[in-house]
Amino acid sequence: MVTSVNTEIEKDANIRERHAGIYEGKSTKNLVCGMIAAGGNPLDWVPEGGESKEEVDRILEMFLQKLGALVDSGNDRKVILVVTHGAVLVHLWNYLLRQSDKYMLLNWKPEFFKVSRNTNYFLLDIGKSLAAGGPREMEVLIAHGNDHLKSLGDDALSSFFKEDKSVTALSECMQQ
């Protein structure tokens, strides 16, 4: 987590991938096959030794409380960068939508559940906590933003590999 005031990176263990139990360190294919074999809602599936949806909800709430305290501190508007994986975002959206007494997602669309195959971002405007105890508003300003990827076609390495995709193309660059 990075804010506009504090440019130091702070790691928060509460916005990490769900622990997959016996599937940790195995291929995604193995994990998905286990999930399909179990049937039902993938968010409800708990692999042996893995985390349940309720455990993930609890750690996401701890993260949201910390984020809320940061937003509520002082009078200045804060820009906060949070980086995590797409699967964590799916859990987060699911949790926020079920907690309508605490959080209100504005401009929400069901397609936001789609997990990207590449790097993208969501831009949220998170309101201060309401004095009356109502839900904290979170407005989705940008969903699945990917403008930052447009330069990839023009970067030097991309054009270099378009011509010769073999490792031998790098041989002159490596130290002997």
CA distance 123 to 106: 12
Closest C-alpha among 87, 11, 107 to residue 43: 87
118-158 pLDDT per residue, tens: 566 788 888 888 777 788 888 888 877 767 666 655 544 44
Residue 151 pLDDT = 64
User: To the nearest whole number, what is the mean pLDDT of the chain?
Assistant: 76
Confidence of residue 5 (pLDDT cuts 50, 70, 90): low
What pLDDT was estimated at residue 156? 47
- DSSP letters of 93-160? HHHHHH-TTTEEEES--GGGGSPPSS--EEEEEEPPPPTT--PEEEEEEEEEE-GGGGGGGGSHHHHH
Over residues 4-31, the mean pLDDT reads 80
- Its pTM surpasses 0.85: no
What pLDDT score does 166 carry?
47
Please say if the pLDDT value at position 169 is more than 60: no
Confidence of residue 117 (pLDDT cuts 50, 70, 90): low
Phi, psi angle pair for 17, to nearest 5°: -60, 150
CA distance 59 to 77: 25
Residue spans per domain, the chain: 2-11+54-170
Taking only the tens place, the pLDDT of each residue in 52-88 is 989 999 999 999 998 888 888 877 777 777 777 777 8
pLDDT at 40 over 70: yes
